[in-house]
């Protein structure tokens, strides 16, 4: 039962936080005129939520089984840097598309 509750919690965290964050980022993209490449935003947000869950939220849930370890610091740093790169990529790609077309 605890595993099921934890899965529901994960789905809600990713669903609610992901929706809120993606709406904020998409609003920013729309205001600066970026209409394409929004899917990169979703991947970036999922990566950030994954790091947040693995390093913080998994220790406050219902599940108390084995394997609850934080991500290594280097892995967390690489994932966060990739996420930031993906968040910055749509405006750059949009400008490059305007230049070369």
> Is 101 strand, coil or helix?
coil
Q: Is the distance from CB of 55 to CB of 71 less than 8 angstroms?
A: yes
**Each residue's pLDDT tens digit, 70-92:** 899 999 999 999 999 999 999 99
pLDDT value at residue 65: 65
**101 exposure class (CB count in 10 Å sphere: 0-12, 13-18, 19+):** exposed
pTM of the model: 0.85
Cα–Cα nearest to 43, from 69, 14, 70, 16 = 14
20-52 pLDDT, tens digit per residue, is 999 999 999 989 888 788 889 999 999 999 999
């Amino acid at each position: 039962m605890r595993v099921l509750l934890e899965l529901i919690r994960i789905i809600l965290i990713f669903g609610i936080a992901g929706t809120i964050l993606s709406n904020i980022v998409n609003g920013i993209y729309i205001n600066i005129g970026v209409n394409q490449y929004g899917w990169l935003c979703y991947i970036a947000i999922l990566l950030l939520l994954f790091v947040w869950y693995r390093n913080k939220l998994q220790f406050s849930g219902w599940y108390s089984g084995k394997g609850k370890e934080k991500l290594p610091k280097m892995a967390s740093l690489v994932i966060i840097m990739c996420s930031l790169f993906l968040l910055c990529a749509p405006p750059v790609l949009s400008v490059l598309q305007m230049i070369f077309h």
